[in-house]
């Protein structure tokens, strides 16, 4: 029985970092945002922006030289089931039948994966990453400012409501998938817990997913080509938590805190 670990979560909620570090701690194969990579490679506009970054894989090589992605680049135009099966087959050829980690985030992509694999032979496990709502709001505002977004969709209240809706929807949706036996396990991880209490998070995941074995090798299978540029091999791999959001304040802050503090506390307790 093969195992696929899907990491879901909002943008800038730590999904890429979590997948990358899991590949160092456990004997797993982290392929990054598998379906996201396909999407931006079949879009001329997105591909042009991507190529400007001259992005290397986390193995240290350009995608066309990477042991994993070099053969798959020519398969991005395949339909999703065919493409995904080729990804799994390539992983098996490189590292054998170890767990495959996909950090494609979006739940619609997860639904496509469920349709693409044989659930009798492959078990799907989901880790949902949640960032502290204050940090998520600050990240959204910072990103929106860099993209010169309109104030109507780039303000604290907008990102607070988005944090609430996206996470509540995701939790309900994932529990429903588990109830229907479409996924095998579902675990909520708070980004801050991962940053400050890594070993506790790893222990929690290994108890939930008993197939996870320690990585006793000096080699980690990490092949991410489209997400966080900070984890390309050769750069300093040190987790630095950004505390800037602590000093961020808006006219909506008291209302947001009054509403979201108890909800975030409840989610954390339930996780």
User: Is 170 inside any structural domain?
Assistant: no
Query: Residue 184 has what pLDDT?
Result: 96
Query: Residue 262 has what pLDDT?
Result: 97
User: Is 15 inside any structural domain?
Assistant: yes
Query: Residue 5 has what pLDDT?
Result: 98
Instruction: Please choose, from the candidates 173, 242, 10, 219, the residue with its C-alpha nearest in 3D space to the C-alpha of residue 106.
Output: 10
pLDDT at residue 160 is higher than 50: yes
Q: What is the pLDDT of residues 26-79, one digit of tens each?
A: 999 999 999 999 998 888 887 788 777 788 898 889 899 999 999 998 889 899
**Structure tokens that stand for 119 in this block:** 């659930």
Query: Residue 235 has what pLDDT?
Result: 47
Average pLDDT rounded to a whole number, residues 138-150? 84
User: Is 169 inside any structural domain?
Assistant: no
Query: Residue 83 has what pLDDT?
Result: 95
Average pLDDT rounded to a whole number, residues 172-192? 96
Q: What is the pLDDT of residues 103-117, one digit of tens each?
A: 999 999 999 999 999
pLDDT at residue 91 is higher than 90: yes
pLDDT at residue 244 is higher than 70: yes
pLDDT at residue 138 is higher than 60: yes
Whether this model's pTM surpasses 0.75: yes
User: Is 261 inside any structural domain?
Assistant: no
User: Is 255 inside any structural domain?
Assistant: no
pLDDT at residue 237 is higher than 80: no
User: Is 190 inside any structural domain?
Assistant: yes
**For residues 31 and 7, is the Cβ–Cβ distance under 8 A?**
no
Query: Residue 271 has what pLDDT?
Result: 82
Task: Determine the angle formed by the axes of helices 44-52 and 34-41, rounding to 10 degrees.
Answer: 110
pLDDT band at 2 (very low <50, low <70, confident <90, very high): very high
Count of domains in the chain?
Answer: 1
**What does the DSSP assignment read for 89-141?**
HHHHHHH-S--EEEEEE-HHHHHHHHHHS-TTTEEEEEEEEE--HHHHHHHHH
Average pLDDT rounded to a whole number, residues 177-188? 96
Buried b (16+ CB within 10 A) or exposed e, 100-116: bbbbbbbbebbebbbeb
User: Is 159 inside any structural domain?
Assistant: no
Sequence-distant (6+) residues with CB within 8 A of 95 are 29, 221
User: Is 151 inside any structural domain?
Assistant: no
Whole-Å CA distances, 17 to 30, 33, 98, 202, 263? 11, 12, 20, 13, 25
Q: Which domain holds residue 10?
A: 2-133+185-245
What 3-state DSSP class applies to 59?
coil
Give phi and psi for 4, each to the nearest 5: -115, 125
Q: What is the pLDDT of residues 8-19, one digit of tens each?
A: 999 889 899 999
Residue 160, number of CB atoms within 10 A of its CB: 23
pLDDT > 70: percent of the chain: 95
CATH code at position 86:
3.40.50
What 3-state DSSP class applies to 75?
helix
């Amino acid at each position: 029985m093969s195992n696929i670990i899907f990491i879901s979560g909002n943008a800038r909620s730590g999904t890429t970092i979590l997948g990358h570090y899991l590949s160092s701690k456990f004997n797993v194969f982290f392929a990054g945002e598998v379906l996201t990579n396909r999407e931006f490679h079949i879009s001329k506009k997105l591909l042009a922006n991507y190529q400007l970054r001259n992005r290397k894989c986390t193995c240290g090589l350009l995608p066309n030289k990477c042991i994993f992605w070099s053969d798959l680049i020519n398969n991005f135009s395949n339909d999703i089931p065919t493409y995904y099966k080729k990804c799994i087959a390539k992983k098996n050829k490189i590292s054998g039948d170890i767990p495959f980690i996909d950090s494609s985030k979006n739940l619609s992509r997860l639904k496509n994966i469920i349709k693409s694999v044989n659930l009798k032979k492959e078990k799907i496990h989901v880790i949902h990453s949640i960032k502290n709502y204050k940090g998520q709001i600050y990240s959204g505002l910072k990103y929106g400012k860099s993209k010169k977004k309109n104030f109507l969709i780039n303000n604290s209240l907008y990102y607070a409501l988005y944090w609430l809706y996206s996470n509540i929807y995701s939790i309900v949706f994932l529990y429903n998938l588990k109830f229907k036996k479409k996924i095998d396990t579902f675990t909520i991880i708070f980004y801050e817990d991962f940053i400050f209490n890594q070993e506790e998070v790893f222990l929690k995941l290994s108890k939930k997913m008993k197939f996870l074995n320690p990585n006793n090798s000096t080699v980690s299978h990490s092949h991410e080509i489209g997400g966080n540029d900070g984890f390309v091999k050769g750069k300093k791999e040190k987790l630095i938590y950004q505390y800037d959001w602590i000093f961020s304040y808006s006219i909506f802050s008291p209302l947001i805190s009054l509403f979201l503090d108890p909800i975030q506390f409840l989610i954390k307790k339930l996780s």
